Amino acid sequence: MSDLPICGTCGTQYATPQTECQICEDERQYVPQSGQTWTSLAAMRASGDYSARIEHPGEGLIEIGTEPRFGIGQRALLVQAASGNFLWDCVTYLDDEIVAAVEAAGGITGLAISHPHYYTTMVEWAKAFNVPIYLHEKDKDWIARPDDSIELWSGDSKQLADDLTLINLGVHFAGSTVLHWRDGAAGQGALLTGDIVQVIPDRKFVGFMYSYPNLIPERPSIVKHAGEILEPYRFEKLHGAWWNSSINADAHGIVQRSAKRYLEHARD
């Protein structure tokens, strides 16, 4: 299956050949001025241009990404939870080195993805480790490669284990999801957000956007709802989609103050 088409801009793998990428044609993403391009995992591996980037920042997290940057450029996080290793978000490139590194860390029990921009080659990952993919049912129409490994869930939250909870915020996409790790940050709690709750250069705040590349702000009612849903959860740290995109203290307070600030500006 590694010869299935992959969009060169967002990294999404499709079940059949396409002329257009539905992810990039949407107003939250974009098709480059140079036009649509396609590749495949087989082509990426054969080119020799790509390699795994695996970092160990500590505190039970392993970062997995690609060098050089491909697609949107996010990295995945392997969460070494007491209930079992779990993969948060996904990247397009997958090779034997990545599989071996994940297996050496104890494998994974499943994976969940924050939103459709990061669905990438999720089915390849699920098959490589024989695990389920948890996606919110509100984003089911964005699944480009349907597969039996995909488990759709509904509602505001899904308890994966005693220490891991998926939470539907609705920011950026209707089914957008964040992962609460109760025992993360040395027991103080951690929130893994992709770019649903975006880590920004000013680490005293976070951002909320409907479209990042096209600079479309999120609707105030959605941001208000997200702040309310997250309020009961405790988390000292927050880990975003990118390398070096973490908030290392008072993350819960920062999210709440950021939502409040957003709503104040939206009223002006």
Please give the Cα distance from 229 to 206 (Å, whole number): 16
Across all residues in the chain, what is the average pLDDT? 97
Q: Is the pLDDT of residue 187 over 70?
A: yes
Q: State what percent of residues in the chain have pLDDT above 90.
A: 98
Q: How confident is the model at residue 1 (pLDDT cuts 50, 70, 90)?
A: low
Q: How confident is the model at residue 10 (pLDDT cuts 50, 70, 90)?
A: very high
Task: Give pLDDT tens digits for 41-55.
Answer: 999 999 999 999 999
Q: Is the pLDDT of residue 180 over 90?
A: yes
| Neighbouring-strand partners of residue 238 | 191, 247
Cis bond before residue 116 (omega within 30° of 0): no
> pTM score, two decimals?
0.97
| Neighbouring-strand partners of residue 159 | 165
Q: Is the pLDDT of residue 248 over 60?
A: yes
Task: Give pLDDT tens digits for 75-117.
Answer: 999 999 999 999 999 999 999 999 999 999 999 999 999 999 9
Residue type at 231?
A: E
Q: Which pLDDT belongs to residue 217?
A: 96
Q: Which pLDDT belongs to residue 147?
A: 98
Q: Which pLDDT belongs to residue 132?
A: 98
Please give the Cα distance from 166 to 153 (Å, whole number): 10
Residue 168, phi then psi, degrees to nearest 5: -90, 115
Q: Which pLDDT belongs to residue 182?
A: 98
Q: State what percent of residues in the chain have pLDDT above 70.
A: 99
Q: Is the pLDDT of residue 7 over 90?
A: yes
Q: Which pLDDT belongs to residue 2?
A: 85
Task: Give pLDDT tens digits for 225-242.
Answer: 999 999 999 999 999 999
Q: Which pLDDT belongs to residue 267?
A: 79
Summarize the confidence of residues 142-164 as an average pLDDT. Answer: 98
Q: Is the pLDDT of residue 34 over 60?
A: yes
Q: Which pLDDT belongs to residue 96?
A: 95
Summarize the confidence of residues 105-130 as an average pLDDT. Answer: 98
Q: Which pLDDT belongs to residue 268?
A: 63
